[in-house]
């Protein structure tokens, strides 16, 4: 073999080594050869991450089965080497309804399912600790105020205690106190859940201290022995039941108010103001346009930064730094609810269309910009009576006008998964702390855990 031949072989092996090495590196980085437009092209693969409750599920991607790798040390299952395109994901488990999604995978990116909650095929409601029939109820920390035959009762651990008043007003944040009201006399009654045999007449207490009467009342967000009171004059006060003292928040006429700790947010004239309960400051947040200030307010809510005002004519506005004069996001809204993570607002309108408004940029399993609205369009036939957010802020419980309870995801990538939890049910209530969904069936209070 000549010297030239040996050199040719040597350099050939070097070239082969470089080509193979480069191919191995590119392959390890996710690049794959594909036949495209009559020629070979290279595309970088993506991956899919799947997280479920419960674990131990069967995963199918375009019909191919993959092992669920989640466990004590790993929340979900990471599967890679997918060419960029849309894949059909199917997640199933014996005894549970299946979950499906068409998931687009992008080059070099990880597509996520989000935390998928599988719903049992057979749901067995458990009876709540209420011995009487109930027409309505209000739950907090597994304690209940409920109505029965026109009267109100409190049920903690023992026998139900009959209460004064015939309307329930509010629970304290910690569930240790509650308020009822008499529709005939307009008297508010304050109760300690540990001693429901004793009631405090709040009207008398407040009138003795302020020389005016109560118009509205809610609990202080951090102290169950303090109340935020709107007087008949429209002024706002803090009523301290321990010290039997009042503190003025504002003497302005507040047409509507709400609490978003640590602030009392209220509307006065054309101003939206915030009274800080810690700093004792009263600041102007936003100014309402003249044509809006004349409209009556149905409800006011906040996520801490943005403030939402729903007017009685159905116009729903958001006020924030980007829209200080207010931006109308709906014109026939009926009610709304801020999500537990304070990033989304659910609202439904007169056509029973369920919508999700994204308060800020949202980049999880789905990507939305602040101000985007997702229309789920899931309840046009059944109608909507009430909506509650599930504690992870990815699902909603919906009580329909046909007395059914639905569990629906907000992920608008098709198909949108929706499950029936109960039929012939009413008075839906959800506890985030216990993750229990309460409702009435045949005059009895039941709950299920999702």
Tens of pLDDT, residues 320-379: 999 999 999 999 999 999 999 999 999 999 999 999 999 999 988 999 999 999 998 778
Backbone angles phi, psi at 6, to 5 degrees: -60, -40
Question: Which residue reads 């193979």 in tokens?
Answer: 20
Give the residue from 80, 81, 78, 61 showing the smallest Cα distance to 69: 78
Same domain, 110 and 53: yes
Judge whether 111 lies within some domain.
yes
pLDDT band for position 7 (50/70/90)? low
Q: What is the mean pLDDT of residues 26-50?
A: 63
Least confident of 21-35, 56-70, 99-113, 126-140: 21-35
Judge whether 27 lies within some domain.
yes
290-312 confidence digits (pLDDT tens): 888 889 999 999 999 999 999 99
What's the domain range around 34?
3-41
Judge whether 108 lies within some domain.
yes
Torsion sign (Cα): 443, 136, 431, 391: positive
Backbone angles phi, psi at 101, to 5 degrees: -160, 140
Judge whether 17 lies within some domain.
yes
Cβ proximity of 348 and 355 under 8 Å: yes
> How many separate domains does the chain show?
2
The pTM of the full predicted model, rounded to 2 decimals, is 0.88
CATH number at residue 67: 2.60.40.10
Reported for 410-414, long-range contacts at CB under 8 A and 24+ positions apart, including other chains, are 410/344, 410/346, 410/356, 410/374, 410/376, 411/101, 411/114, 411/365, 411/366, 412/366, 412/374, 412/376, 413/101, 413/102, 413/103, 413/104, 413/366, 414/101, 414/102
40-77 confidence digits (pLDDT tens): 555 678 899 999 999 999 999 999 999 999 887 788 99
Same domain, 27 and 78: no
Q: Give the percent of the chain with pLDDT over 70.
A: 91
* pLDDT(203) > 70: yes
What span, in angstroms and rounded, lies between the C-alpha atoms of 327 and 254?
22
Judge whether 101 lies within some domain.
yes
Q: What is the dihedral of CA 315, 412, 427, 122, to 10 degrees?
A: 170
Same domain, 11 and 70: no
Domain end position, chosen among 54, 86, 117: 117
Judge whether 276 lies within some domain.
no
b/e sequence 183-209, b meaning 16+ C-beta within 10 Å: eeeebbbbbbbeebeebbebbebbeee
Same domain, 70 and 83: yes
What pLDDT sits at residue 45? 83
Domain end position, chosen among 63, 92, 117: 117
Judge whether 83 lies within some domain.
yes
pLDDT band for position 252 (50/70/90)? very high
pLDDT band for position 189 (50/70/90)? very high
Residue 5 is inside which H or E element, if any? helix 3-28
What pLDDT sits at residue 32? 53
Average pLDDT, the chain: 91
Judge whether 144 lies within some domain.
no
Same domain, 85 and 30: no
Same domain, 61 and 105: yes
Angle (nearest 5°) at CA 409 between 407 and 411: 170
41 or 286, which is more confident?
Answer: 286
């Amino acid at each position: 073999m000549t010297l030239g031949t040996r050199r040719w072989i040597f350099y050939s092996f070097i070239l082969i080594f470089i080509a193979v090495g480069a191919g191995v590196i590119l392959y390890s980085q996710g690049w794959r050869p594909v036949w495209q437009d009559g020629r070979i092209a290279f595309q970088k693969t993506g991956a899919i991450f799947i997280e479920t409750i419960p674990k131990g599920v069967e995963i199918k991607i375009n019909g191919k089965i993959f092992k669920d790798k989640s466990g004590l040390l790993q929340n979900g299952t990471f599967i890679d080497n997918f060419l960029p395109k849309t894949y059909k994901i199917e997640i199933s488990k014996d005894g549970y309804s299946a979950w499906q999604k068409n998931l687009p995978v992008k080059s070099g990116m990880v597509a996520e399912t989000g935390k998928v909650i599988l719903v049992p095929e057979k749901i067995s409601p458990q009876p709540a600790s209420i011995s009487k029939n109930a027409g309505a109820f209000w739950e907090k920390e597994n304690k209940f105020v409920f109505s029965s035959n026109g009267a109100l009762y409190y049920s903690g651990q023992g026998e139900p205690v009959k209460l004064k008043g015939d309307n329930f007003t509010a629970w304290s944040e910690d569930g240790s106190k509650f308020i009822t009201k008499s529709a005939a006399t307009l008297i508010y009654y304050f109760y300690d859940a540990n001693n429901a045999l004793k009631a405090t007449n709040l009207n008398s207490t407040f009138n003795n201290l302020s020389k005016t009467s109560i118009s509205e009342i809610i609990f202080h967000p951090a102290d169950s022995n303090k109340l935020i009171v709107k007087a008949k004059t429209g002024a706002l006060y803090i009523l301290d039941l321990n010290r039997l003292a009042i503190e003025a928040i504002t003497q302005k006429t507040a047409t509507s108010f709400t609490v978003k700790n640590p602030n009392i947010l209220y509307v006065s004239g054309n101003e939206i103001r915030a009274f800080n309960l810690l700093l004792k400051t009263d600041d102007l947040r936003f100014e309402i346009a003249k044509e809006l200030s004349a409209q009556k307010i149905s409800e006011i809510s906040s996520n801490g930064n943005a403030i939402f005002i729903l007017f009685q004519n159905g116009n729903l506005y958001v006020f924030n730094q980007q829209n200080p004069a207010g931006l109308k996001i709906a014109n026939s809204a009926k009610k709304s609810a801020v999500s537990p993570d304070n990033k989304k607002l659910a609202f439904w309108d007169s056509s029973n269309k369920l919508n999700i408004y994204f308060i800020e940029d949202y980049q999880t399993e789905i990507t939305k910009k602040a101000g985007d609205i997702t229309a789920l369009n899931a309840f046009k036939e059944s109608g909507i009576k009430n909506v509650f957010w599930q504690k992870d802020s990815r699902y909603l419980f919906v009580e329909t006008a046909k007395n059914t309870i639905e569990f629906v995801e907000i992920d608008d990538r098709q198909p949108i998964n929706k499950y029936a939890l109960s039929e012939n049910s009413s008075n839906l209530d959800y506890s985030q702390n216990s993750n229990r969904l309460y409702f009435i069936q045949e005059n009895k209070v039941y709950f299920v855990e999702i």
